[in-house]
Amino acid sequence: FRAAARHRQRNGAGLDGGGLHIERSGLQVVSCLVASNSVNGSTARGSGIYITDGAPVISRTSLRCNSNINSLGDGGAIYADNGTYLMVDSCLISSNSSKANNRDDAAGIRLDAVNKGKIFNCLVLSNDNTAANGTDGISVTGIKPTMGESIVIQNTTVANNYGRGLHVTNLSITVTNCIFWDNTLDMLAYIGTPINVYYSDVQNASVTNSVGCKSADPVFVGESYYLDQGSSPCVDAGGSSSTNS
């Protein structure tokens, strides 16, 4: 899928992948719309996109209003598992929903036992796991990267999600040049190994492993969640090694 006019919309599926099911593939999903899809199987995953055992790239794509109908479903926008090498670049992850009642389950993006992952230059906004214990923005679990590989979230804004912004279970990941703001529960939460956070703006959070972090109103422009170039304390405040959009 490499054209702006290509999209998946208003599909329903009983199994994994309401919009797209990617398996053992390096598919590039570029400049697409993945919207208003759903899964309704008892353990169905990935209402927008489900990925397993591949190396896909999702770039400049909008994933919005995808939903899990069943209470055990997981990964409202994206669910990736089983050794996947995943890159999510310059995407909008917005207004997706899930009902799974577990901290590891996410309405936005769920990475589960992938080998390597990078989420960068993304907006993760207004996602809602309606269950009391679920994660709303991004959940990273069960990952055991091989030597020299890593899980990185970079240059990404996670804001206005209806609960947890980011939840990580029992592994070390790196967060660089990110903003976590106006998520209604935890901005960052982890079980086990603390999250490594560098040059990020994290609202009301005490970050254990951090360098150059702050908790200051990022001054978004309206509901765009882009920064006010004249007054935001986050402009030109990131680490110099990051990849800028």
Summarised one tens digit per residue, pLDDT across range 155-170 is: 999 999 998 999 998 8
Predicted local distance difference test score (pLDDT) of residue 66: 94
DSSP states along 56-107? -EEES-EEES-EE-STT-B-SSEEEESS-EEEEES-EEES-EE---STT-BS
Give tens-digit pLDDT for 23-46. 999 999 999 999 999 888 777 889
Judged against a pLDDT cut of 60, whether residue 1 lies above it is answered with no
pLDDT of res. 105: 86
Q: What is the pLDDT of residues 4-24, one digit of tens each?
A: 334 455 566 667 899 999 999
**pLDDT number for residue 243:** 44
Answer yes or no: pTM beyond 0.75: yes
Tens of pLDDT, residue by residue over 61-119, are: 999 999 987 767 788 999 999 888 999 999 999 999 988 777 788 999 999 988 889 99
User: Tokens standing for 103?
Assistant: 């901290």
Q: For residue 14, what pLDDT is reported?
A: 63
Cβ contacts of 40 within 8 Å, gap of 6 or more:
12, 13, 14, 68, 69, 70, 73
Residues 59/39, Cβ–Cβ less than 8 Å: no
User: How crowded is the C-beta side of 245, counted as CA atoms within 13 Å?
Assistant: 20
Considering the chain, what is the average pLDDT of its residues?
A: 85
pLDDT at 244: 41
More confident residue, 43 or 215: 215
Q: What is the DSSP letter of 4?
A: T
